[in-house]
């Protein structure tokens, strides 16, 4: 699927000039190409600052509470704060699809280099290595970010992750065709776990499909669904447009109105 096809899906003008340095093209395992906007050091520092403020406020509140119970609970308080200080980022990113509260506030998200959502081990590793990133006097994490094209700090390089800016642009989705997609959804394997980039590509298609001519719609839908037809052994009689609609509905759990 070419960049011109993707641009048409998203309703963007097509330019022949190269992309900005802060964007990166990722091809997902589903053979769908998607452009990510990378998060630079400044917004990431702001997100970290928000997280630090939240952790400090929580620690202060817990300190006041444990003080009321006497000095016998000091060890419990220190253990709790150690876990929060080193585990907050990893646990939040693992459970919240790559976002801490600070990243969510700044519209950032951690994804793997392949564009897939990160797993728990990646989330924990990148956050455990944060201590090495901020070692004075050279702050190797900042130097690493400035020396690679994905703005990856040491924790990102070790865990195979990168931080992106979420696309906040939303548009009301047009209704699906009258045909019921539930029959097609039943043919989609239960193991279907689309990456974030594939969901965004499906959403882009659903949002633009009514604006595309039927021949162009068939062409684009055929390009995207070819991989899935073969890997899922789907009948060729299934309409590619309806298949994409069914995939979107199954992936998001919602049906546009």
Classify residue 2: in a domain, yes or no: no
**In the listed set 120, 137, 165, which residue is the last one of a domain according to the structure?**
165
Classify residue 81: in a domain, yes or no: yes
Classify residue 199: in a domain, yes or no: yes
Looking at the structure, tell me whether residues 144 and 52 fall in a common domain.
Answer: yes
CA dihedral 217, 219, 220, 226 (to 10 degrees): 130
DSSP assignment string, 150-206: T---HHHHHHTEEEEE------PPPPPPSS--HHHHTTS-TT----HHHHHHHHHHH
Q: Please give the C-alpha separations between residue 15 and each of 19, 144, 174, 203, in angstroms, as whole numbers.
A: 9, 32, 27, 22
Looking at the structure, tell me whether residues 56 and 116 fall in a common domain.
Answer: yes
Looking at the structure, tell me whether residues 71 and 151 fall in a common domain.
Answer: yes
Classify residue 193: in a domain, yes or no: yes
Looking at the structure, tell me whether residues 139 and 48 fall in a common domain.
Answer: yes
Looking at the structure, tell me whether residues 189 and 154 fall in a common domain.
Answer: no
Looking at the structure, tell me whether residues 187 and 148 fall in a common domain.
Answer: no
Looking at the structure, tell me whether residues 94 and 147 fall in a common domain.
Answer: yes
**In the listed set 139, 165, 191, which residue is the last one of a domain according to the structure?**
165
The residue with tokens 């901020």 is 134
Q: Which residue in 153, 150, 154 sits closest to 113, CA to CA?
A: 150
Domain that holds residue 244: 182-252
Domains held by the chain: number = 2
How would you write the pLDDT of the chain (257 residues) with one tens digit per residue? 554 554 445 554 444 444 445 777 766 555 556 678 899 889 999 999 999 999 999 999 988 888 888 777 788 888 889 999 889 999 999 998 899 999 999 999 998 887 778 899 999 999 999 888 888 776 888 889 888 888 999 999 999 999 999 865 444 444 445 456 788 888 888 888 887 778 878 887 887 777 778 888 888 888 888 888 888 888 888 888 888 888 888 877 655 44
Q: Please give the C-alpha separations between residue 162 and each of 15, 53, 116, 205, 223, in angstroms, as whole numbers.
A: 26, 23, 11, 25, 28
């Amino acid at each position: 699927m070419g960049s011109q096809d993707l641009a048409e899906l998203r309703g963007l003008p097509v330019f022949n000039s190269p992309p900005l340095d802060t964007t990166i093209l990722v091809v997902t395992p589903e053979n769908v190409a998607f452009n990510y906007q990378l998060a630079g050091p400044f917004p990431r520092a702001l997100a970290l600052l928000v997280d630090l403020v939240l952790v400090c406020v929580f620690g202060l509140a817990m300190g006041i509470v444990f003080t009321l119970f006497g000095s016998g609970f000091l060890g419990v308080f220190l253990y709790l704060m150690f876990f929060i200080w080193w585990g907050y980022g990893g646990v939040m990113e693992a459970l919240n699809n790559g976002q801490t509260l600070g990243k969510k506030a700044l519209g950032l998200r951690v994804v793997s280099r392949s564009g897939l959502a990160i797993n728990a081990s990646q989330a924990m590793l990148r956050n455990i290595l944060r201590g090495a990133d901020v070692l004075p006097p050279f702050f190797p994490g900042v130097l690493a970010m400035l020396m690679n094209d994905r703005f990856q700090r040491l924790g990102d390089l070790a865990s195979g992750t990168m931080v992106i800016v979420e696309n906040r642009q939303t548009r009301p989705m047009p209704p699906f065709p009258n045909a019921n997609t539930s029959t097609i959804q039943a043919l989609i394997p239960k193991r279907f776990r689309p990456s974030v980039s594939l969901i965004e590509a499906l959403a882009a298609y659903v949002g633009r499909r009514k604006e595309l001519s039927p021949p162009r719609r068939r062409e684009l839908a055929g390009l995207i669904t070819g991989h899935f037809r073969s890997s899922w052994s789907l009948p060729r009689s299934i309409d590619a447009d309806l298949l994409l609609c069914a995939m979107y509905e199954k992936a998001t759990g919602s049906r546009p109105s």
